[in-house]
Amino acid sequence: MRTLATFLCILSGLYGLSSGNSYKSAESSYVVIVNVDNQITAISQKDLALIFLGKKTLWENETRIVPVMMREKQRPMRNFVEVVLNKSISQYRAYWKRRLFSGGGTIPKTFKTHKSLIDYVSNKPGAIGIIPKKSAPEGVKVIKIAKS
């Protein structure tokens, strides 16, 4: 009984440690872009997280979703990973390594330059990309992030 009580105390302590890190609202240092043929105009923060964690892989028309982003070292990307995906960069990398090596999917493609990312999204019907807000994308559609 005492062991069980101790175990429950530890568990509730860990729960307490974790509870401050659950849901944060999106910052606006980045924008979300999709191919111009994509019908969507807004995406929820939750769906955005699911897409970039490989948990949502198909658009409603059953086209494969292809998530792409700038390299995560860049501040807006770091901000996106921490706020929307609710993970530190090392957690994000570890998450995808585990998923990749267990056969669970491929890591979102990353690009060095805004231009190459925008070119890719403009040519790929299922693509969705994250770029810094200051990039002023052309040839792609910028969609809104809804909080729910």
Partner 1 sequence: MYPLYQTINSRITGFIILAAVTLALPLDPDRISLNGFVSFEAEQQIDAIGLGDPNFSLDADLLDLIFNFQIGENMRTVCDISWKHGHESSKNYGALDLEYVFIEHTFFDEIKLRIGKILTPFGNFNEILQAKPAYYSVDVPLSAEIVKQFAPTSFLFFPKSGMGISIQGETVFQYTKSLEYHFFVANGLQDSSTNPYEMDGNISKSIAAQLRFSVTDNIKVGKSIYIDNPVHPIHRLIFSDGYEFEFNNGKFRLLSELTIGNLYKDKDITENSQVTQAGAYIQPSFSFESGLTPYFRFDILDPDIKLDDNYSFVTTLGIHYELSNWYMVKSEVDYFHFGKKSQVPQLSDAGYTTFKAALVLGF
Q: Using CA atoms, how far apart are residues 3 and 134, in angstroms rounded to an integer? A: 56
Of positions 2, 39, 101, 138, contacts partner 1 by CB under 8 A? 101
The pairing of beta strand 141-146 with beta strand 30-34: antiparallel
Of positions 43, 50, 142, 143, contacts partner 1 by CB under 8 A? 50
Determine the residue type at 131: I
Is 57 a binding residue for partner 1 by CB under 8 A? The answer is yes
Contacts to partner 1 by CB under 8 A = 14-15, 17-19, 21-23, 45-46, 49-50, 55-58, 62-64, 66, 86-88, 90-91, 93-94, 97-98, 100-103, 105-107, 124, 126
